[in-house]
Amino acid sequence: MSSIKKYLSLVKFSHTIFAMPFAIIGFFLGAYWSPIRIAESNAIRTRSSWSIYITPPYLIFVLVILCMIFARSAAMAFNRYLDRNFDAKNPRTAIREIPAGIISKESALRFVIINCLLFVTATFFINRVCFLLAPVALFVILFYSYTKRFTPLCHLVLGVGLSLAPIGAYLAVTGVFALLPIIFSMAVIFWVSGFDIIYSLQDVEFDQSQKLFSMPAWLGKSKALRVSEMLHVLSAACVIFAGIYGDFGWWYWIGIAVFCGMLFYQHSVVKPNDLSKVNLAFMTANGIASVVFAVFVLLDIFLHHHANPIIKI
């Protein structure tokens, strides 16, 4: 296995599919969406005085994608580094790169540091707001790895980490905060928290034996699934509210139908006494949900809002 493949496997690069579409939504909201209803509209159209204008918008898009890759790689590798001893004891995770000896713990830690530095460097070339908030973002996404040691709310912390994607991408373009991308971020928090609970059903007995916290280990599988369902209802409510608030058209509502359908589907195939389809629910259903939803949101932004860019790409 080549070094690149080793590290791509370490950070589960394919899982980037979950948050990346929402970062792209945030970017194009900042570039194209006409914020009729929000007080910050004039600030967005003129762009904040905090912004650095030396970077062309099309390069900002590239930098946003790179930031997503660097931040997620740092967070995932740090999680693997911190959990290496637990992973070695768990039959399901013992094959991971660090416990299996494919990547040393020192190399994994260096990989984390390099990605953190690359992330901060990329934000420097976006604007001052993103650069100043970069340490905050890194703290959130790295801190998640500790939370399973002391709280069953760890799933929500993971959700908060991934929810930075649409807000951060919007800030990259505009330099200011606005309510609509924050609503999308709330949707991400509830969505990610819900499917992470489903994923953690696989390790209930192990977590309990190691005194690790997760919603299933704390409440049991059945009650944890109910919590996951509630979180996904809240996620659906957020994207519906975003559609109303943002005055989106039919393309957007088609996207919502697919997104909500995938939420319903994963709960229909995962049962407390049958976890055989957890990976199908986790990867396939949520991958489809994020990608297809993003495609229809972008179609609506370009068509319903007449592709009238606030900032020329």
pLDDT of residue 9: 85
Fold classification of 3-303 (topology level): Tetracycline Repressor; domain 2 (1.10.357)
Q: For the chain, give me the number of helices (H) and strands (E)?
A: 15, 0
pLDDT along the chain (313 residues), means of 10: 82 81 93 53 42 64 95 95 95 92 94 97 93 96 95 96 94 90 96 95 94 95 96 98 93 96 93 84 85 95 64 48
CB 36 within 8 A of CB 310: no
Q: Cβ contacts of residue 213 below 8 Å, gap of 6+?
A: 147, 148, 149, 150, 151, 152, 154, 207
Residue 217, burial from CB neighbour count under 10 angstroms (0-12, 13-18, 19+): buried
pLDDT of residue 55: 61
Rounded to two decimals, the pTM is: 0.89
Residue 130 has phi, psi (to 5 degrees) of -65, -40
Adjacent-strand bridge partners of 171: none
Residue 86, token pair as written in the block: 């637990």
- Compute the CA torsion angle 53, 59, 60, 63 (nearest 10 deg): -130
pLDDT of residue 52: 44
CB 72 within 8 A of CB 110: no
